Amino acid sequence: MGKKRIVSKTEKELLEERDKVEKKISKEVKINSSKIREARVYISSTYNNTIITLTDPRGDVLSSNSAGRIGFKGAKKSTPFAASKVAEAIYQTIEKNGIKKIYIYVKGIGSGRDSALRFLASKDLEIMAIKDVTPIPHNGCRPRKARRV
């Protein structure tokens, strides 16, 4: 291992870096609140993470968030607490855009699906439908060929 070098940045470079980060944060889609009154919420919960996506009725993504993006790492990403925090972040986007009616689609078998759903149900949103869209295999994979000895 060589010597560690400490790089000191000038104020101008620090300001440019801050502007880049702020541009990435402010890339959220701005919605005309008079047009969109309803949206779809997709909750995808796996053994490793919980991802919640907010779309308009056509399916265009308005906002997306996950437990990893919020700051949870490792095994903590798959907990019900992390899922409720992700749902809280999505709810803030819903509230900011003035959406009143939501359709919820739940997918996956992780432990976060129930807590995210409960969080959204506890808020003052009109939930039009809750649908489980978890894929279920109905014949399975093709079996291996028989071993000949």
The pLDDT value given to residue 1? 56
Task: Assign 101 a pLDDT band (cuts: 50, 70, 90).
Answer: very high
How far apart CA 24 and CA 61 sit, in angstroms, is 16
Which domains can be identified in the chain, with CATH numbers?
A: 35-132 (3.30.420.80)
Instruction: For residue 15, count CB atoms less than 10 angstroms from its CB and return exposed for 0-12, middle for 13-18, buried for 19 or more.
Output: exposed
The pLDDT value given to residue 115? 94
Mean pLDDT calculated for residue range 117-127: 93
How far apart CA 54 and CA 57 sit, in angstroms, is 10
Lowest mean pLDDT among 9-13, 44-48, 96-100, 134-138: 9-13
Q: Is the pLDDT of residue 48 over 90?
A: yes
